[in-house]
Amino acid sequence: MNRDTVNKVIRFFIVTGIVVSSLIFIYYISKVTYPFIIAIAIAIFMNPAVRFLEKKWKFPRVLAVLTTLLLLIAIFAGLITLLIAEIVGGTSYLSTVVPQHVGTLISYIEDLFAGQVIPFYNKIAGMFKSLDSGQQDTIKDSITDTGNKITESATAFLQNFFLKLPALVSWIPNAATVIVFSLLATFFISKDWDNLTSASTRFMPEKAKTSGRKVFIDLKKALAGFVKAQLTLISITLVIVLIGLLILRVDYAITIALITGIVDLLPYLGTGTVFIPWIIYELVIGNYGLALGLGILYTVVIVQRQVMEPKILSSNIGLNPLATLVALFVGFKLIGFLGLIVGPVTLVLVTTLHKANVFKDLWAYIKGTPPIIK
């Protein structure tokens, strides 16, 4: 092995070590600094509005930051208040109607048992009695084993549920603490934005500054496009469901449409979480007209989602729809629901680094050739 090859191998391991060490460092440091990461994201989101107030209305930086932050909190609090008010009203309605539906469903189940299950049971019991004792013991053992397995599964589920309740309750004060620290950090970061950005790039090489600036700009555009795409898809689903429910004259259509829009983010399930049980229930109670209407509405929602999602994602983010789908699936499999955000964000980051020639520069360093200058 000649000296040039040895140098290439050494540089390859240097690059690999730095990248892996950086990822591990970012992972562990983000677990204790995530309120400040959230604050940085909010500050980036706020910065255009802050600069507008500074330049257009001649606000001092501190006043512009404070005004924008208070306006953002007011908008968020207002939306949450409206959502809670609508959900409370819908819940009050459902608390009255659901018991009636449950009573209807119980009556249907009783009729089903009386007319179908009990005669079938008697027929099976007669066949069971005609078997010899060994066959009867085998069937009894199988039934016992099945019952034990069901009992064990139910017990394990309940134990896990109650064991996680304290963690869920303890999450509430932790969330409040995170919100407070994030808002305070947002204020200070946004107030000193120019000083912080200049200090963070003071000791960086010029090439790193140029590449980092391009990566930051492209990444900000891509992430904003991703958020915009998701909000657009949810809004389309929400509007279609709302119009459909109003046509079908369903009570509390706004509450149901809001819930449907939220669950539209869930993988695999999506709007089917709301529509499929609802359609089945309407069929069971004999309300075939509403069941048919809900089925048509559900089909329209599914079709528009499949048609619009690739187009909206590709136009807002500039990513290949298949690559986005792979990123969503891999992210969900690796880290659960959070992967639905981390997967596309990682894909956006990799694509942005590629466009900024970062990978080409690294490869040029490994080969020992001059980096690409643009």
Answering whether pTM is above 0.85, one says no
Question: Phi/psi at 370 (nearest 5 deg)?
Answer: -60, 145
Q: What is the pLDDT of residues 320-332, one digit of tens each?
A: 777 877 887 888 7
Task: Round to whole Å and give the CA distance between 69 and 179.
Answer: 13
- Three-state secondary structure of 165-180: HHHHHHHHHHHHHHHH
Task: Round to whole Å and give the CA distance between 341 and 330.
Answer: 11
- Taking alpha carbons only, the member of 282, 244, 252 closest to residue 90 is 252
| Cβ neighbours around 183 below 10 Å, total | 16
Task: Round to whole Å and give the CA distance between 188 and 191.
Answer: 5
Q: Where are the alpha helices (DSSP H) in the chain?
A: 3-56, 61-112, 118-129, 133-191, 193-200, 206-247, 253-263, 272-284, 288-317, 321-335, 339-355, 358-367
pLDDT, position 319 = 72
- Taking alpha carbons only, the member of 198, 189, 301 closest to residue 242 is 301
Exposure string of 105-121, with b = 16+ CB inside 10 Å and e = fewer, is eeeeeeeeeeeeeeeee
Tokens standing for 237?
A: 């689903």
Task: Round to whole Å and give the CA distance between 344 and 341.
Answer: 6
Tokens standing for 352?
A: 């942005």
Q: What is the pLDDT of residues 297-307, one digit of tens each?
A: 999 998 888 78
- Taking alpha carbons only, the member of 159, 190, 169 closest to residue 44 is 190
pLDDT, position 292 = 94
Residue type, 281: Y
Residue type, 148: N
Task: Round to whole Å and give the CA distance between 316 and 223.
Answer: 9
Instruction: Find where tokens 């970061």 sit.
Output: 189
First to last CA, the chain: 34
Residue type, 19: V
Question: Phi/psi at 250 (nearest 5 deg)?
Answer: -90, 135
pLDDT less than 70: residues of the chain: 1, 86-106, 110, 113-114, 117-118, 121, 128-132, 135-136, 139, 157-159, 161-172, 265-269, 337-338, 340, 370-374
Task: Round to whole Å and give the CA distance between 155 and 149.
Answer: 10
Residue type, 339: G
pLDDT, position 320 = 74
Instruction: Find where tokens 């120019």 sit.
Output: 194
Residue type, 367: K
Residues ≥6 apart with Cβ < 8 Å to 215? 352, 353, 356, 358
pLDDT, position 248 = 92
